[in-house]
């Protein structure tokens, strides 16, 4: 059974750093792209970027390039989304998904950034 299991909810202050994770199981991690999507009440669903764990080829949506970093560790079948300096506007639920067609979704990680 394909599963994407994400790390738990986070509460952070503006300017802090954060890494959230997405552990894959039930399929060959290196053979499928892993994407990240965020959801906010105001802007709905937004595609952040995608990585191919097999060779770490990473593509970012232009709006998010430079704002966050997507990575993957194929030795432990885990993808990551990280921020070096959070802003209040990063408050959202973040989902990892498999493939561009998002055929499987993680359960979501709620990130709250507030002073």
Q: Please report how close the Cβ of residue 8 comes to other proteins at its closest, in angstroms.
A: 15
Binding segment (CB under 8 A) for other proteins, from list 13-21, 24-32, 40-48, 74-82: 40-48
Binding segment (CB under 8 A) for other proteins, from list 18-26, 69-77, 80-88, 103-111: 103-111
Of 1, 31, 41, 62, the one binding other proteins by CB under 8 A: 62
Residue-by-residue DSSP string for 48-114: EEEEETTTTEEEE-TTTBTTBEEEEETTTTEEEEEESS--GGG-EEEEEEETTTT-EE---EEEEE-
| Contact of 85 with 62, CB cutoff 8 Å | no
Residue 46 binding other proteins, by CB under 8 A: yes
Q: What is the spatial distance between Cα 64 and Cα 75, in angstroms, rounded to a whole number?
A: 27
Query: Which residue number, 27 or 47, has a Cβ lying nearer to other proteins?
Result: 47
Q: Please report how close the Cβ of residue 2 comes to other proteins at its closest, in angstroms.
A: 11
Binding segment (CB under 8 A) for other proteins, from list 8-16, 22-30, 61-69, 81-89: 61-69
Residue 44 binding other proteins, by CB under 8 A: yes
- 95, exposed or middle or buried, with CB in 10 Å at 0-12, 13-18, 19+? buried
């Amino acid at each position: 059974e394909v599963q994407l299991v994400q790390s738990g909810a986070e509460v952070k202050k503006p300017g802090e750093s954060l890494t959230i994770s997405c552990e894959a199981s039930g399929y060959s991690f290196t053979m499928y792209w892993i994407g990240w999507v965020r959801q906010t009440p105001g802007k709905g669903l937004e595609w952040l970027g995608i990585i191919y764990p097999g060779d770490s080829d990473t593509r970012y949506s232009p709006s998010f390039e430079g704002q966050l970093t997507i990575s993957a560790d194929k030795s432990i079948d885990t993808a990551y989304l990280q921020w070096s300096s959070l802003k209040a506007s990063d408050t959202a639920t973040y989902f990892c998904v498999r493939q561009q067609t998002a055929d499987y979704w993680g359960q979501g990680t709620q990130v709250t950034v507030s002073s």
